[in-house]
A and B are shown apart, each in its own frame.
Chain A
Amino acid sequence: MPVVDRQEWDVVVVGAGGAGLRAAIEARERGARTAVICKSLFGKAHTVMAEGGIAAAMANANEHDTWQTHFRDTLRGGKFLNQWRMAELHAQEAPQRVWELETWGALFDRTKDGRISQRNFGGHEYPRLAHVGDRTGLELIRTLQQRIVALQQEDHARTGDHECELKIFQECTVTRVLKDGSRVSGVFAYDRETGRFFVLRAPAVVLATGGIGKSFKVTSNSWEYTGDGHALALLAGAPLLNMEFVQFHPTGMVWPPSVKGILVTESVRGDGGVLRNSEGRRFMFDYVPDVFKEKYAESEQEADGWYDDPEHHRRPPELLPRDEVARAINAEVKAGRGSPHGGVFLDVSTRMPAEVIRRRLPSMYHQFKELADVDITAEPMEVGPTCHYVMGGIAVDSETAAARGVPGLYAAGEVAGGMHGSNRLGGNSLSDLLVFGRRAGWHAAEYARSLARERPRVDDEQIGAASAEALRPFALGAEGGVAGATGTAGAAEAAGAVEAAGGGAENPYTLHQELQQTMNDLVGIIRRAGEMEQALSRLAKLRERAGRVGVEGHRQFNPGWHLALDLRNMLLVSECVARAARERTESRGGHTREDFPAMEREWRNVNLLCALADPAVGRIRLTRETTPPIRPDLLDLFDKEELAKYLTDEELEGGLSR
């Protein structure tokens, strides 16, 4: 029995992004002793990457904006697959969540009359995004971080200890949620700095670990996005919802390699940037789908007129929804009309004077100048789709953010599914974090209080199994040495050869690269049944090889080891994505099937749930479930003609209150 440090807490929050910190604040304010565990330093979470803003119907910029309008936009964006009660709560509570940030010191950009300024964004009917220039995510994180510090200062004033009620365990990774019967009893984690294991015993655990982008080769996500929370929930017995919906942002940088995937903001196109292929053609005119034909321009002349006179011109096709643009770019590249580095050209240099570009797109100018040595006022950018966000996630209760089937487990933020349906609108992620982060923290604290007298027990056997699992890569590394660790380009092949010969440990970096390549090529933006079959068989092989991952060195801050442990999560999640994607035989939002290109009304009320069939093997079982009908008063917010595009006739007949 390994000796590991154990501590007692009421609520443990895994992840210190927007959702995790908001949950921790709420839990602590409601009297729960709360611990936050995060892989990075406190304040470095991926939330800082969010640029656009926080969507909330505060009606500061347009007085007609209401939560109902916001709800409607969200459902349209998600193609009506959203967990509608979540979308409703989200739209109702978002303004309050933004305002309380001000109480904690946030400084948003202002309107002329001193209120929070709100900006336009794709899919939102009114200007709705509270923002701070193009660094809204940073402001959000910093504000929450400083709120946590403020609470710690209060505790310190009272008790002399900053961390007695609310503690951040930074640079620590959770590898298992521990259970007592069906209930959560705590988490097993290791400290990245020292490599030491520890157990936080707690009746309630909030997962707020973000997304899964690091399973894809080209992504705007950081290294932390390895689907940890998704995998922890699966392993704890909670199902994942609709994992096939992955948002690819159409414009990520493709060159140089160091920045491949980094986002090029939508405003570049909004301000007049155009997409061209290698033949110099503005190809988006060829990709306007029939349903959008009336709304988008047919000639360059007409499109160019829109920027100055939107009343009398139709929108340029570059401003089609994200999924359409991403698919079009993908098609151009596949047809051999791509840019030298496998993207297309996004050009503002011939559209605006240099000084206007520098004024309107300062961060983009800066980003390309600093990172790519490209002067966007003089030459076009090369861009291509990049994996950006996963709409799918842990299936949760709309009100409480509780994961299904595992009492004590909660999820909020990107790791939770349902809120965004099949496609997320820009700006809705930050508000999602705040609304459901708070709800998760609130209900986790309540739940923990209800168990104050009979707290679930931590099982020593589970701790033993978890530490053995975490130490495995060292045993293998010591035995076989890391195959391919000294090679360069041929590392993957070398590792494969060693494996075929029946010996040697696998290099985690090599496996990770292969996984990313597999997901990118075979379960990427356009999907086909055959390729997904292929992906699943490759994933099975990778999983088998991952069992033989070995690492060198010791446990202190050893990135190879950390990656080896994260591989388990990425493989699990990738399999969920691939299985669910193969199952859903339609195209909707972030899921595009070449072999089933149409959106089917019959699929609208179908959720795909992934659960762990056999924890020992790590096999995924997929089930379908029918979602509850949308409440009639909410359906009344839409025109019947619009609803008819999404809902089946039976649903329509039974659903409307009118």
Chain B
Amino acid sequence: MSGYEARFRVWRGDEQGGGLRDFTVEVNEGEVVLDIVHRLQATQAPDLAVRWNCKAGKCGSCSAEINGRPRLMCMTRMSVFDRAETVTITPLRAFPVIRDLVTDVSFNYEKARGIPAFVPPAELAPGEYRMFQEDVDRSQEFRKCIECFLCQDTCHVVRDHEENKRAFAGPRFLMRVAELDMHPLDAAERSGLDRKRTAQEEHGLGYCNITKCCTEVCPEGIRITDNALIPLKERAVDRKYDPLVWLGSKIRRRPS
């Protein structure tokens, strides 16, 4: 297979406005979309802004929307497109744009701060921890997350409703709550923090209507919905909608 000239439409602009610009650019065998963006930079648009880093699908920097689908540019091979097809690249549409393909993802960092950290068990010193593989498996799956924020971008709760950003942590950070709640050593509960309850009351778990787009776009193949969000919803049910638990808490509650 030899090189060919491909047609691209790349969104250029900033928060003031912008639009899709047409480019014709050389594509060679084996290239990915990020290579093409780099070729545009080197030859036609030296100031085309793009965020990238490892170029091997491990850091989660080069998130964008390619033909309308949230993807990593470094993991989208050109061979998946028809040669005659025009490939459209836009920045993530759920976040404010900074310039061209670069968006302001600070929403995610704010949400990360909102999740109370891991609480180590006070009675054990470093080196004394014992955990078994079957106990860490679940949280390890969630820790594969490369924080590309594609799930946050695709989630309609915030993508289509800016006003929900305040109340909703997004799949990535609800998964973080699940990760900590399933962490075999997390002592949050003993310190008075009920992650199951806060997932719903503070991080907006109820906004999730489990339509699974987060799982669909995850480049790491993490089963976010089935393994993190739904189990978390079930754990919230344990706390809040289980009549026996509710009755128990009513009975045991005494003035102190």
Interface residues of A (CB under 8 A from B): 40-46, 48-49, 58, 95-96, 99-100, 102-105, 107, 109-110, 113-115, 132-133, 135, 138-139, 142, 146-147, 149-150, 152-153, 156, 162, 193, 222-224, 255-259, 262, 367, 370-373, 482, 485-488, 491, 507-510, 551-554, 556-561
Contacts and interface: CB of A to CB of B under 8 A. Distances in A.
Contact of B51 (A41, A95, A100, A372): A41
A500 B183 CA distance: 64
B146 A258 contact: no
A107 B55 contact: no
Given A48-B54, A552-B47, A556-B14, 16 more contacts: A40-B61, A100-B126, A103-B129, A105-B180, A105-B183, A107-B183, A146-B118, A149-B117, A153-B113, A153-B117, A156-B113, A222-B54, A222-B55, A258-B74, A559-B47, A560-B47
B57 A258 contact: no
A96 B75 contact: no
Contact of B109 (A42, A135, A508): A42
B42 A138 contact: no
A237 B98 CA distance: 37
A132 B145 CA distance: 13
A481 to B, nearest CB: 11
B139 A107 contact: yes
Contact-residue size bin, chain B (C-beta under 8 Å from the other chain): 35 or more
B98 A193 contact: yes
B109 to A, nearest CB: 7
B63 to A, nearest CB: 10
A100 B124 CA distance: 11
Interface stretch (B130-138, B153-161, B228-236, B242-250): B130-138
Interface string B176-196: 000010010110000000000
B132 A110 contact: yes
Nearest to B129: A102
B140 interface: yes
Contact of B49 (A44, A58, A149, A558): A558
Nearest to B78: A258
A552 B41 CA distance: 11
Contact of A556 (B35, B59, B98): B98
A429 to B, nearest CB: 16
B209 interface: no
Nearest to B118: A105
Query: Which of B30, B75, B131 neighbours the largest number of chain A CB atoms within 10 Å of its CB?
Result: B30
Contacts of A147: 117
A552 B30 contact: no
B46 A482 contact: yes
Nearest to B139: A107
Closest 8 CB pairs of A and B: A256-B30, A553-B47, A105-B118, A150-B117, A114-B130, A99-B126, A560-B46, A557-B49
A603 B149 CA distance: 51
A507 B44 CA distance: 12
B73 to A, nearest CB: 11
Given A114-B131, A222-B54, A486-B43, A41 B61 contact: yes
B105 interface: yes
A103 B120 contact: yes
Nearest to A477: B46
Nearest to B108: A41
Nearest to A141: B59
Given A41-B51, A109-B133, A258-B34, A552 B46 contact: yes
Nearest to B133: A110
A132 B140 contact: yes
Contact of A509 (B46, B52, B143, B183): B46
A102 B130 CA distance: 10
Interface in B98-116: 98-100, 102, 104-105, 109, 112-113, 116
Contact of A486 (B41, B44, B117): B44
A509 B46 CA distance: 8
Interface string B27-63: 0111110110000011110111111111111111100
A103 B126 contact: yes
A258 B143 contact: no
Given A132-B140, A257-B31, A557 B99 contact: yes
Contacts of A100: 126
A521 to B, nearest CB: 20
5 contacts: A44-B147, A46-B53, A49-B58, A222-B55, A557-B100
A102 B127 CA distance: 8
Contact of A223 (B28, B52, B145): B52
A48 B143 contact: no
A189 B32 CA distance: 32
B201 interface: no
Contacts of B22: none
A632 B56 CA distance: 45
B144 interface: yes
B157 to A, nearest CB: 23
B113 A43 contact: no
B133 A551 contact: no
A554 B118 CA distance: 43
Contacts of B136: 107, 109-110
Of B44, B46, B145, most buried by chain A (CB within 10 Å of CB) is B46
A258 B131 contact: no
A372 B30 contact: yes
B4 to A, nearest CB: 14
A436 to B, nearest CB: 19
A139 B143 contact: yes
A222 B53 contact: yes
Contacts of A223: 52-53
Nearest to A108: B136
Nearest to B36: A258
Contacts of A114: 130-132
B43 A44 contact: no
B30 A149 contact: no
Nearest to A47: B59
B56 A507 contact: no
B58 A138 contact: yes
Nearest to A194: B98
A485 B43 CA distance: 5
Contact of B147 (A43, A96, A133): A43
B67 interface: no
A395 to B, nearest CB: 29
Nearest to B80: A373
B21 interface: no
B26 A488 contact: yes
A149 B50 CA distance: 26
A373 B144 contact: no
A43 B108 CA distance: 12
A162 B113 contact: yes
Interface string B203-237: 00000000000000000000000000000000000
A275 to B, nearest CB: 22
Contacts of B146: 48, 138
A367 B74 CA distance: 12
B46 A551 contact: yes
Nearest to A507: B46
Nearest to B138: A107
A149 B113 contact: yes
A370 B98 contact: no
A107 B140 contact: yes
A107 B134 CA distance: 12
A372 B102 CA distance: 26
Contact of A370 (B28, B75, B130): B75
A44 B149 CA distance: 12
Contact of B43 (A104, A370, A488, A552): A488
A488 B23 CA distance: 14
